[in-house]
Amino acid sequence: MNEILFSQTLLTAANFLAQQNDIPWQWIVYGILIVIGVGLGLAFLAAIAAYGNLWLQAFTSSADVSLASLIGMQFRQVRPQLIVNAKIMAAQAGLDINRKTGISTQRLEAHYLAGGDVIRVVNAIIAAQRADIDLDFDRAAAIDLAGRDVLDAVKTSVYPKVIDCPDPQRSGKNFLSAIARDGVELKIRARVTVRTNLEQLIGGATEETIIARVGESIVSSIGSSAQHQEVLEHPDRISKAVLARGLDAHTAFEIVSIDIADIAVGENIGARLQADQAEADTRVARARAESRRAEAIATEQEMKAQVAENRARLVMAEAEVPLAMAEAFRKGFLSV
C-alpha cells in the first residue's frame, strides 16, 4: 500500500514538473530516483563509517547484531559498543543468543535502559554456566535490577565465603558473651561458612540476619548447658546444635558450616551474683536489726517516762497524807 502511494505521488510530482518545464516526465522520474538513490547511498556510507567497525566485529564473532540495530541504538540512547561487547561475550561463551528465546540484542537493550549492568549480568551467566548452575538471563537481570551483585552471588555459590560472628566491623564486638547454667561466662567467636542461594536471593534476608540468628542460637545453646566445662570439652556440640536449627530459612544464603573459632572463660557471673545477693541480704538484715534496736530504745524511753510519771504520782500522794491527818485532827477523828 505504501509503495503504491509513493509511486502515485512520484508520478504526480513528475507530471507537474513536466508541465511546468516542458521536460518529459520520464526524465524527471529518473532524476528523482537518482537523487533518492544517492541520498540512500550516502546515508548507508555514513552508517558504515560510524558503525561498520562494530558491525564487522559482531559479524566475525557470530554475535548476530544487525546494522539497523546499531543505528537504532543511537536514537534509543543506548551505547552500541556495550551491547556489542555483551553479545560477543555471550556468543563466544556458547550461550543462547537466539532472537526469540536467548540473549537477544533487544533484551540486552531493555536491561540497559532499565538501569542494569549488562556486562555484569552476562559475566554472571557465563560463570554460572561454567559452574553448572541454573541461571537464565531473566533471573540474572532481575537480581541485578533488585540491587544485588549478581556476579558476586554466583561466585559465592561456587566459592563459599566466611562470615565472622560477631562481626567486629558491624557490631564493634570481638566475642559473644554467653553464660552457662553454672553461672560461668564464656566468650565465643564463631565463623559461619555460607554460599548464595540464588533461588531466594531476591527478597531473602542478608548477612546481618545470618549473624543475628547464629549469635542468638549460640547464646541459647550455651545457656542450656549445665556446666561450662561441657562446652569447653565439646564445642562441636554447640555448632552442630545451631546448624540443625535451619537458621538459613528465608535468607539469601545457605549455611554450609558453623565452626567455633575461639572460646575463652570469662567471669564467674553466678558467684558474683551470689556474692552481691549475700551482701544485699546482709544489708537488709542490718537494716532490720537497726530497726529493732531503734524500737527497743524507744520502748526503753517510754518505760522510763512511765517510771517518772509513777514517781510523780507517788510524791503527790505522799503530799496529801499530812493534809489528811490535819483534817482528821480538826474534825476530832484523831487525838494526841
Domains of the chain with bracketed CATH: 1-60 (no CATH), 77-159 (no CATH), 161-271 (3.30.479.30)
Whole-number Å distance between alpha carbons of 315 and 308: 11
Within 8 A by CB and 6+ apart from 32, the residues are 10, 13, 14
**Predicted pLDDT of residue 334:** 62
What integer pLDDT is reported at residue 76 of this predicted model? Answer: 81
The 10s digit of each residue's pLDDT in 239-273 is: 888 888 888 888 888 888 888 888 888 787 777 77
For the cut 70, the answer to whether the pLDDT of residue 99 exceeds it is yes
Q: Which pLDDT tens digit goes with each residue over 34-67?
A: 656 655 555 555 555 546 677 777 788 888 887 7
- Band (234; pLDDT cuts 50, 70, 90): confident
Answer whether 222's CB lies under 8 Å from 238's CB. yes
Q: What is the mean pLDDT of residues 176-185?
A: 83
The number of angstroms, rounded, from the C-alpha of 25 to the middle of its chain's C-alpha atoms is: 76
Mean pLDDT over all residues of the chain?
A: 79
For the ranges 25-39, 78-92, 310-324, the maximum mean pLDDT occurs at: 78-92
* Structure-block grid coordinates of residue 135: 541461571
The 3-class secondary structure across the chain, one letter per residue, is CHHHHHHHHHHHHHHHHHHHHCCCHHHHHHHHHHHHHHHHHHHHHHHHHHHHHHHHHHHHCCCCCCHHHHHHHHHCCCCHHHHHHHHHHHHHCCCCCCCCCCCCHHHHHHHHHCCCCHHHHHHHHHHHHHCCCCCCHHHHHHHHHCCCCHHHHHHHHHCCEEEEECCHHHHCCCCEEEECCCCEEEEEEEEEEEEECHHHCCCCECHHHHHHHHHHHHHHHHHCCCCHHHHHHCHHHHHHHHHCCCCCCCECEEEEEEEEEEEEEEEEHHHHHHHHHHHHHHHHHHHHHHHHHHHHHHHHHHHHHHHHHHHHHHHHHHHHHHHHHHHHHHHCCCCC
- Please state the pTM of the whole predicted model: 0.60
Single out the residue of 87, 204, 83 nearest to residue 153, CA to CA: 204
Above 80 in pLDDT, residue 30?
A: no
- The set of cell numbers assigned to 299 is 520502748
Termini Cα distance of the chain:
171
Alpha-carbon torsion (210, 212, 215, 221), positive or negative: negative
**pLDDT in the model for residue 43:** 52
Q: Would you place residue 25 in the very low, low, confident or very high pLDDT band (cuts 50, 70, 90)?
A: very low
Q: What is the pLDDT of residue 47?
A: 52
User: What's at 169, amino acid-wise?
Assistant: Q
Q: Is the pLDDT of residue 31 over 50?
A: yes
Question: So what's the pLDDT on residue 240?
Answer: 83
